[in-house]
Structure 1
């Protein structure tokens, strides 16, 4: 067995974890080697600095030097050292293809193969994922473990606690074939802390909250509450819409406040500041408003200003109180829905505390930022009568308007794996959009990408997430090279057949259609979807043949493609019927889709988020759910 002798400063958990990871993988890769290897893992400042706006805590750089007798990895911070460990393992042939250690390839090598000499810094500062969907705690922990292996540095725990996403799974929402699991508040609290500890162990930048502050300001700790009516004490704090102050659609987290009401504004500010004081482990605290639009306050005082002006005033008050308490928490503010329109008069007093987050949730995913044409004029703001921008160019118009007012640290909060990916049956088109978007971020003055997405997004595979992570680290990589790297590692020597089948399914399907963009009756799309049924059958035949010829990871990957082929056939039939205008038939076929994925959910749980597929199909695609919402 290989003998590893480490020189690694004590006292930092992430450096110790990097050491343990390097030892564990090299022990597997050099099973019959008696050689001794000296390994040194240290934090060091890069010289010269690799970027103009450099922050050793936020920005990642490493230098890797390895030969048969020694390994030296220096990083700009402990997380960067861990990233350097995984990069060395990648150079040596390891591939981290999906969340979960059973989706990795770890080759056996000889000591002579232990050679590397490279220095790299990340193309983007912000590289991470925000939790969505229905997740077991194991799903979340596996995903956090995967992030640094593909070059990412951030994880975003949305809401005050990730209660909604865990309950969606453990309650088996929208899958009546599975009995809800009876878990206590203590059980959930334990899961929350396991997630926090996993983030901290890897030194990942910890993003937190977002939506939920409007709930907390009126006394709710949970964002998933549905309530029929506010109390007499709460009602004056809520936005007045159509002459009434109510919970928007019965959901406090979707309800805006009357931000001109001093009691409501004070409670909002106090909630954020007190949370920041109690949670110093949070690096980026997201301060957002309600998660719906056309529901902002119409009272006489609020009408005298804009929501964005009120928002910036709240942010400045939060900043002042954090400064007064000596807290350096970074605040992320959101360009989303009504907040896409910049303020008319208010400005950030101390921009250095803030990070701008551009959230083009209504954009198309059949066109990249790289395809943008002339940027149009921004439409006028009309209180509670806004229409969300649909095109790439329309969305960028809002971003540029904000950037003219505040040149702050910024990233895009994007959604290719949050809804639209269900419409790309091959996952190749959505992966290609990601690959074309990321190199465009510097031209948009955006220093990174946080993906708002399901963590169970690997049917047929996790190529889009893999491309995202690898290119956020190095935006000079190409889609074709990454696709070959990924498919050859996952499917083995016949990987081109998997690629060709999935590329065909991508060409015949539509991310935008599933995401609710465009007319529901579309004869041209219907013809493509009818062809997708045949393409799914061809994938089935190929997958069955290749699964019988392979073993291990590749065999499992081909089996997954066989299941995916059945899913694609059924969903293509349902979508084709809807696009043909045969709505009753489409709904009957959709019932068959729901039955198929519900019956198999436990078998394929890490790969497909059944709850989220059904939620998106009901809210956006045009199908109906067969259980109460």
Structure 2
């Protein structure tokens, strides 16, 4: 990248900031593609002419008998090219004589998710190893023309979640072949607790996923057995949307109790077979769903397998099936049951039996277990088929330090366990990440550089997958995390600073530098001084400095918003709220650090609750109805 180009672009942006709003928007739409091209790809020649004066200069060709996903990819390409240039691009099965084309093709010799963008004799070729990767190639090509896929088209964005340039005369200016291959095979979004999901915003999420190359949607079979968050509620609407994009469907989650529990058959299952269930501390059969059933009783296991197979028979769309114990599972309370083996060995033995039964009927379906809580380590006496997937969950990671930083005892425990898994297990291991965590109560722990350093280490282990929670209700707060993670899951060595700069230019326009500094302040304060578990309580002096920094950034954001166009003012307004929440949270920590009176602490907690009440519908926080001063004070004291 040439420094002179960056300087020219910065001068141009400063000039734009002085224009009236209408002129600002018109000229801003012209300069962002230039900035994107300069930052990411450097200068290029005039390139291949795609459209001139709103007339398409190439056709889109889909040879052979294209699948629905490839047809969708071609339709997306035509749609966005028209949005950019105003030209109508025809999609045909074969090219017209003497006319240049954009050719979309699947190549069997390429790896499944690999894709290539090349130029041959003036024709553009988008080739990939699978239908899904063809769609990636299309979105990558469009991104190189200046499109930015910042977020799903959620209602809060009012149609402005993504950026599409306006160029009636349009060139493709990349003059070298693009070859792409993912570092992580599975790149997942999980909707586990489903606090803010609807059919509408789930469809919007699915539409966005392949644009950032996320390839798996993870949905609970029945979260916590409550019937509120379950695949069956959304299955009919989402399955065709997921299939059209080649996105994998992963269903399951915590819940052996979905397949065998004491309340089944109107309670008669427990009455007739008390020996099928777990024993309490008095060694008596218990009706507690969180006490793992008797995995040594073959009749109980057979019942469990039969229930699993029946669910799979009714849900043939599932690609990956999660078979996890209850969240907070208790494996053995009766001392005699400790002789039955460790939780890790019991889980491994059970999954092996289920896997054998499932493979006999559904050979292409993958099962997944979880390395978590009391079953964190690899089994010592049982072997798991490498066809089974493992999700590794460092739920208590200390975010003051990188995962591989030995200064954190909690992190070191996870590193030791994960490396032991990698040494003993040949199958796919994924990271069930907490780069967005429900326990944070939407606190803006925005950590793009931190995520990159962790991801670079995980890639070297190596791991094959990455999962993150995705809630529409606080999407804007974690928007940068989600956006950056999409790129890092594909390439952990991507230039994060360039992505942040582009993100901020797209979201915040001419005052993007102000936003960059605000995000940097959040990354350097919230995970260290905020209410993030395992982050130690700092001195009052250090906390005061963090609050001062955030207030300075908040004031700068407020001033930048005052002169910004209305659309960008809304984004600055959300960023101000993120900074305000961080300040309120850290001030509660300050009260704890100085041993403030209960009255002072209560007042500061009330300020947080008031913030929740006033801003629960703005994409910043998800409000828990059960929160009150007493419960929230307990929450904050937990992190003292």
TM-score of the superposed pair, with normalisation by structure 2: 0.78
The 5 A counterparts of 1:480-519 are 480-510=497-527, 514-517=531-534
Query: CA shift at 1:447, angstroms?
Result: 1.6
Cα pair 2:529 2:543 within 8 Å, conserved: no
Query: CA shift at 1:231, angstroms?
Result: 5.6
Deviations 1:303-333 (A, max 9, x none): 3322222222211211221232253211112
Change (3 A) 1:219 1:258: closer
The match for 2:579 is 565
Query: Structure 1 residue 98 and structure 2 residue 151: aligned?
Result: yes
SS at 2:426's partner residue? coil
CA distance in 2, matches of 1:288, 1:425: 30
Query: CA shift at 1:545, angstroms?
Result: 2.4
Change (3 A) 1:446 1:200: same
Cα pair 1:229 1:247 within 8 Å, conserved: no
How many residues in Structure 1 have an aligned counterpart in Structure 2? 562
Name which of 328, 331, 353 aligns with 1:317.
353
CA distance in 2, matches of 1:111, 1:621: 60
The 5 A counterparts of 1:106-505 are 106-116=164-174, 117-133=177-193, 134-137=195-198, 138-160=200-222, 191-218=234-261, 232-233=271-272, 236-243=275-282, 244-246=284-286, 248=288, 252=289, 254-298=290-334, 300-301=336-337, 303-348=339-384, 350-351=385-386, 353-369=387-403, 371-372=405-406, 391-419=410-438, 425=444, 427=446, 430-460=447-477, 462-505=479-522
Give the stretch that moved more between structures: 279-288 or 444-453: 444-453
SS at 1:21's partner residue? helix
CA distance in 2, matches of 1:234, 1:75: 54
The match for 2:60 is 6
The 5 A counterparts of 1:550-629 are 550-551=564-565, 553-582=567-596, 583-602=598-617, 604=618, 606-611=619-624, 622-623=635-636
Name which of 109, 120, 142 aligns with 1:89.
142
CA distance in 2, matches of 1:437, 1:339: 23
Query: Structure 1 residue 538 and structure 2 residue 552: aligned?
Result: yes
CA distance in 2, matches of 1:234, 1:552: 66
Name which of 76, 80, 83 aligns with 1:25.
80
Give the stretch that moved more between structures: 397-406 or 6-15: 6-15
Query: CA shift at 1:588, angstroms?
Result: 3.4
Cα pair 2:197 2:471 within 8 Å, conserved: no
Query: CA shift at 1:435, angstroms?
Result: 0.9
SS at 1:285's partner residue? strand
Change (3 A) 1:485 1:473: same
CA distance in 1, matches of 2:620, 2:555: 21
Change (3 A) 1:607 1:592: closer
Query: CA shift at 1:83, angstroms?
Result: 0.9
Query: Rg bigger for which structure?
Result: 2
CA distance in 1, matches of 2:528, 2:476: 15
Cα pair 1:287 1:333 within 8 Å, conserved: yes
Deviations 1:103-157 (A, max 9, x none): 1111112544224441211121111221134123233222222221112211111
Change (3 A) 1:164 1:95: farther
SS at 1:84's partner residue? helix
Give the stretch that moved more between structures: 462-471 or 487-496: 487-496
SS at 1:15's partner residue? helix
Query: CA shift at 1:259, angstroms?
Result: 1.6
Name which of 101, 114, 132 aligns with 1:79.
132
Query: CA shift at 1:436, angstroms?
Result: 0.8
Give the stretch that moved more between structures: 67-76 or 322-331: 67-76
SS at 1:462's partner residue? helix
Query: CA shift at 1:192, angstroms?
Result: 3.5
Change (3 A) 1:233 1:590: farther
The match for 1:380 is none
Deviations 1:71-126 (A, max 9, x none): 42111111111111111111111111122152111111254422444121112111
Change (3 A) 1:618 1:63: farther
Cα pair 1:240 1:297 within 8 Å, conserved: yes
CA distance in 1, matches of 2:634, 2:129: 46
Cα pair 1:44 1:77 within 8 Å, conserved: yes
Change (3 A) 1:611 1:237: farther
CA distance in 1, matches of 2:215, 2:329: 31
Query: CA shift at 1:203, angstroms?
Result: 0.7
TM-score of the superposed pair, with normalisation by structure 1: 0.80
SS at 2:187's partner residue? strand
Query: CA shift at 1:28, angstroms?
Result: 0.8
CA distance in 1, matches of 2:173, 2:238: 35
SS at 1:211's partner residue? coil
SS at 1:514's partner residue? coil
Query: CA shift at 1:39, angstroms?
Result: 3.1
Deviations 1:4-53 (A, max 9, x none): 74322556222222122111111110026899873322211345x5xxxx
